[in-house]
Amino acid sequence: MSGTHKKLGARHKARKRAVDFLFEAEARDLDPVDLATERAELSGKDDSVAPVAPYTVTVVTGVAENLDRIDEVISSHLQDWTLERLPAVDRAILRIAVWELFHATDVPPVVAVDEAVELAKQLSTDESPGFVNGILGQVVLVAPQVRSAAAATSRRAETAGGDSTDAGS
């Protein structure tokens, strides 16, 4: 019974919602973080608005804060193609996956890639899952170095900042 029909969990739904927000924000020329935050607040007051998972806001914020770097990475792996020419939904899916590969240390790289491919199957064209998988298969190779560099940078920031790590003492 298992295998082909995976149960898609809360994180998957959160990623799918993040794709929706990134897509909508780009289409309407809005700030994606404002959009996600406003929807989250609205869902608390209005039952007709679906709740927004905290991970959705985390992902949207992460993508928005690192957008230039993320787009640079994606663009460098697009052969004979430009980021602007990609379907907007593929752009959103790739941005989320690259952010997860580089910054979400609790998400194994294989999961970030599988989730992106799954989202492409659900939301995009027949060619998209293979395309997304191909791009991310290359990005995965550089992700460990990027993660360790980011970790080193944040460790230096914590050390320089002094008492931010011992708030509970």
Residue-wise pLDDT for 28-44, tens only, equals 999 999 999 999 999 99
Residue 127 domain-assigned (yes or no) = yes
Would you state the pLDDT for residue 153? 76
* Distance, CA of 157 to CA of 131 (rounded, Å): 37
Residue 75 domain-assigned (yes or no) = yes
Closest of 35, 153, 165, 7 to residue 92, by C-alpha:
35
Residue 14 domain-assigned (yes or no) = yes
Residue 5 domain-assigned (yes or no) = no
Give the CATH number, domain containing residue 131: 1.10.940.10
Residue 124 domain-assigned (yes or no) = yes
* Distance, CA of 75 to CA of 44 (rounded, Å): 38
What are the tens digits of pLDDT across the range 8-19? 689 999 999 999
What are the tens digits of pLDDT across the range 53-82? 999 999 999 999 999 999 999 999 998 889
**118 residue type, one letter:** E
Work out the burial of residue 78: count CB atoms within 10 Å of its CB; fewer than 13 is exposed, 13-18 middle, 19 or more buried: middle
More confident of the two residues 87 and 148 = 87
pTM attached to this predicted model: 0.85
CB atoms within 10 A of CB 10: 9
| Domains: count for the chain | 1
Residue 2 domain-assigned (yes or no) = no
Closest of 66, 59, 12 to residue 40, by C-alpha:
59
Residue 152 domain-assigned (yes or no) = yes
Residue 90 domain-assigned (yes or no) = yes
Domain that residue 62 falls in: 10-160
Q: Residue 2 pLDDT more than 90?
A: no
